[in-house]
Structure 1
Amino acid sequence: MKNVNLENKITVITGASSGIGAEIAIEVAKKQSTVVLIARNIEKLQQVQARIKQVADVDVILIAADMSQPHMIDQVYSKMKSKLGHFDYLVNAAGFGNFDPFFEMSMTTAHEMFDLNVLGLMYFTRLIGRDMMEAESGKIINLGSVAGKIPTPKAAAYSATKAAVIQFSNVLRLELAPFNVQVMTVNPGPVATNFFDIADKDGHYVENVGSFMLKPDELAQKVVSHFEDSKKDLTLPFSLNIASKFYLLFPSIGDYIIMKWGDKK
């Protein structure tokens, strides 16, 4: 894995209180980056801060906010801007999922998923991205999902949010290229985090996909290893990356395979 040095850099991470966001925070801190941790739960953020202090001597800024609420996003940005002035990396990791069949799930839940997974991400990216454009440097890392590339039953709304994140990132990459600002999407398969406490309440999905399950710390290491290069898409594990390319080329065959063997929820 490449040696990355983030000394004197500032990394902003949403969804930083647990899971992938927390592990990326720890990894960039090891690389000597100042870290801004954003999530709703300040106590959990403090726990991540304590973990960081065990492995690195860097500045850690905690901000408690609901990143689905535009007025809170404005407050977060203003607080960071006045304190730090600029931003080198933005990791949009805040989000949640629900694996209920679409016709049974609450539309309130669908709205909440889009507000956080998509609209909040877009709103915050708009604020940070303008600063990066002005500085003509920076990188935005958006957490998509294999679910945004390969359809599976019981994930219609969640998959739609992640497909939106992926396509938003693809277009954003083109718009920001003239300003020397890079965009990368990270599209993991199932990751062993508390994401499934909400998404998979009965535990069937986690039980069935054990062979594909990624470890969050290892995923974080791979993500951070690409901070300084021009990687555009990181889809893991390798087997699901290949599967996503196969589905794009042969969707009819892909649908057949998914309906016969791929529904693990």
Structure 2
Amino acid sequence: MYDWKGKVVAITGASSGIGALTGELVASRGAVPLLMARSRTKLDELAARIGESCETYELDVSSPDSVQTVFRTVFEKHGRVDVLINNAGFGRFERFEQAPLADFEHMMNVNYMGIVRCTKAVLPYMLSSGSGHIVNVASIAGKIGTAKSTGYAASKHAVLGLTNSLRQELAGTGVTVTAINPGPVDTPFFDLADPSGGYVANVKKLMLPPRRVAEAIAKAVERSRAEVDLPGIAGFGAKLFHLFPRTFERVSRRFLNLK
């Protein structure tokens, strides 16, 4: 059995949703969660719920200076990060021709390059110790693209490409790499992604509770899983898509394109 006690667990995007619940969950199992996000107010509120076992850090994953400063502080204090959970990310659902170029750049900078920066910051220490676990929260959107998700899906495709390649590079080093691919999750993500609320209304009954994703993250670390698709039917759909892309798109277009 995996022992969380005393494990130093860095979690980006930890001020709400999946990140916050993952912090609470690993803390309850004896880990030391390092909660990282841009909002000091939300981090303080979360820390008050978790208690003294956690630490908070203001982190902007889109800023190389912020990432370097925060993780330098972490290593000066703890000397290690046992688990890195790259959870920070956002999306905007809009048609390609209407989406500003800046939105594509910003999503790639946060969702993809944010993971690159944070992983670069911790990986040398993990390799030197011969142990560690990197969890990248990607998305089913990284496997199946849908209308109005060109920028978001592209950034998550990039995350999966990075994760799968890095896993092969690190084979035999003692460092594990995991991709978590949830479908729609009931979190504040949609406040920005779907401000009209139309998409959320269409998929409300299918949305995952964030605690289920947090539990899947913890279980993936405990079992050294390479990848987890949530829900399972979505992972099955992704496999069908890759086997029969045109047929799958034709049959499922009406169901998938609810934005």
Bin of the TM-score, shorter chain as denominator length = over 0.9
Q: CA deviation at 1:157?
A: 0.7
Q: CA deviation at 1:217?
A: 1.1
Deviation string 1:47-90 (CA, Å, 9 cap, x unpaired) is: 1112212xxxx521111121101111110111111111011100
CA–CA separation in structure 2 for the residues paired with 1:119 and 1:74: 14
Paired position in structure 2 for 1:105: 99
CA–CA separation in structure 1 for the residues paired with 2:42 and 2:250: 42
Residue 231 (structure 2) pairs with residue 203 (structure 1)? no
Q: CA deviation at 1:223?
A: 1.6
Residue 254 (structure 2) pairs with residue 260 (structure 1)? yes
Paired position in structure 2 for 1:248: 242
Q: CA deviation at 1:4?
A: 4.9
Matches within 5 A, 1:163-174: 163-174=157-168
CA–CA separation in structure 2 for the residues paired with 1:187 and 1:121: 15
Q: Which runs of 4+ in 1 moved over 3 A?
A: none
Paired position in structure 1 for 2:26: 28
Matches within 5 A, 1:123-202: 123-202=117-196
CA contact 1:15–1:94 (8 Å) conserved in 2: yes
CA contact 2:67–2:121 (8 Å) conserved in 1: no
Q: CA deviation at 1:181?
A: 0.3
Distance 1:80 1:18, change over 3 A: same
Paired position in structure 1 for 2:12: 14
CA–CA separation in structure 2 for the residues paired with 1:121 and 1:191: 20
CA–CA separation in structure 1 for the residues paired with 2:59 and 2:175: 26
> Per the alignment, in what secondary structure is the counterpart of residue 227 of structure 1?
helix
CA contact 2:140–2:229 (8 Å) conserved in 1: yes
Distance 1:4 1:50, change over 3 A: farther
1:43 aligned to which of 29, 34, 41: 41
CA–CA separation in structure 2 for the residues paired with 1:19 and 1:7: 23
Gaps of 5+ in 1: none
Paired position in structure 1 for 2:65: 71
CA contact 1:4–1:31 (8 Å) conserved in 2: no
CA–CA separation in structure 2 for the residues paired with 1:68 and 1:84: 24
CA contact 1:152–1:258 (8 Å) conserved in 2: no
CA contact 2:2–2:223 (8 Å) conserved in 1: no
1:167 is aligned with what amino acid?
A: G
Paired position in structure 1 for 2:114: 120
CA contact 2:61–2:114 (8 Å) conserved in 1: yes
Q: CA deviation at 1:122?
A: 0.4
1:218 aligned to which of 203, 212, 215: 212
User: What is the aligned-residue RMSD (CA, Å)?
Assistant: 1.2
Paired position in structure 1 for 2:223: 229
2:145 is aligned with what amino acid?
A: P
> Per the alignment, in what secondary structure is the counterpart of residue 171 of structure 2?
helix
CA–CA separation in structure 2 for the residues paired with 1:59 and 1:179: 29
1:238 is aligned with what amino acid?
A: G
CA–CA separation in structure 1 for the residues paired with 2:8 and 2:204: 35
Percent identity, aligned pairs only, is 36
Q: CA deviation at 1:260?
A: 3.2
Q: CA deviation at 1:102?
A: 1.2
> Per the alignment, in what secondary structure is the counterpart of residue 235 of structure 1?
strand
> Per the alignment, in what secondary structure is the counterpart of residue 38 of structure 1?
strand
